[in-house]
Homo-oligomer: A and B are copies of this chain.
Amino acid sequence: MTGIRAALGKDIMRELGSSQPTAVELEILRILWDLGPSPVRDIHARLYQAKGTNYSTTVKMLAVMLNKGLLKRNEQATPHRYRAALTRKQAGKSYLSELIEKVYDGSSMSLVLQALTTGKATRQDIAEVRKLLDDMEGQL
């Protein structure tokens, strides 16, 4: 089943040689995806709950991420409000492409098949996937 190749630019980003969301960074992104634009307090509250780390640490991480371009913030408001610079969907796509490329050897279908068997699907879910398949087939 190697018929399918990810149609995506492999390591475009690696070429640009920059940094990426690391462990804690991803955790913060998730919080922001969840909460929407938020002040440090709120972000910290969540992070603290999950990891028990210090307030300063949260502030610092936000600064680092802001610097990397992973976050944006509104400095007009007080306290400043931080928000993710990319959507969950965009991030997902990046991770997914990388995963397909590096582990599934470029075959997105291998991944799909595995993912399907990995989670529990409802009838609705299945129907939705079928619908998408129909659309895709229609476009061939």
Contact = CB atoms under 8 A, between A and B. Distances in A.
A73 to B, nearest CB: 15
Give the copy number.
Answer: 2
Interface in A65-79: 67-70
Contacts of A91: 8, 103
Interface string A8-34: 111111111111111101100010000
A6 interface: yes
Interface stretch (A39-47, A55-63, A127-135): A127-135
25 contacts: A1-B128, A3-B69, A6-B16, A6-B18, A6-B69, A7-B70, A7-B85, A9-B17, A9-B18, A9-B19, A9-B20, A11-B20, A13-B102, A16-B26, A26-B102, A92-B111, A96-B115, A100-B118, A108-B118, A109-B119, A109-B121, A112-B112, A115-B115, A117-B132, A130-B130
Interface of A: 1-23, 25-26, 30, 67-70, 85-86, 88-100, 102-105, 107-126, 128-130, 132-133, 136-137, 140
